Each structure stands twice: as C-alpha cells, then as structure tokens.
Amino acid sequence: MSKNTTGTAEEKAIHKEATRLRKMTDSQLIAAFREAKESSGPEKNPIQELFDGLEAGKCSGIGSATIGKLHQYAVKNGLL
C-alpha cells in the first residue's frame, strides 16, 4: 500500500500486521511461527483422510481389496 492511497480497512489491517512482523527480531519471528503452528492443531495427513473416506464407503466401486492394496502401497512408500 503506497502512502498516497487510503486503502480499504482490510488493506490497512494487513499493512499494519506486515509492518509489525517486519519489525520483529529473528527470535521473535520464530517464536511467533511456533506459537501459530501449535495453536493451529495437529496437521492432518490428506492420504489418511482419503483412506478414512474410502473405508467409510464414501466412494462406490472401490472395494476393500483395492483399499487394502492402496494402503499397503502408501505405507511401503512412506505416505502414511
């Protein structure tokens, strides 16, 4: 946002937050990022979410044998 424009309320808020972050020291930035990561909760594995949906029967035409083979492949290749 340039000094010659007024900007919307959202743009002003973003600019204010960006300025606050730029003024932080390295250790303050790391602490802020770690805090944000912890407060966001556990990360969800999209592959596990896929298998949860398949096992719940949310996709017709994919049987338990195929799901089992896919699960073995995912585990073998470090995806789960």
Q: How many structural domains comprise the chain?
A: 2
In a domain, 29, yes or no: yes
**What's the pTM?**
0.46
Q: Which domain holds residue 31?
A: 9-39
C-alpha distances out from residue 43 to 38, 46, 63, 64, Å:
10, 9, 28, 26
Q: What is the predicted pLDDT for the residue at 7?
A: 80
The model's pLDDT over 1-55, given as tens digits with 9 standing for 90+, comes to 556 667 888 988 999 988 888 898 888 888 888 888 777 767 778 888 888 888 8
In a domain, 56, yes or no: yes
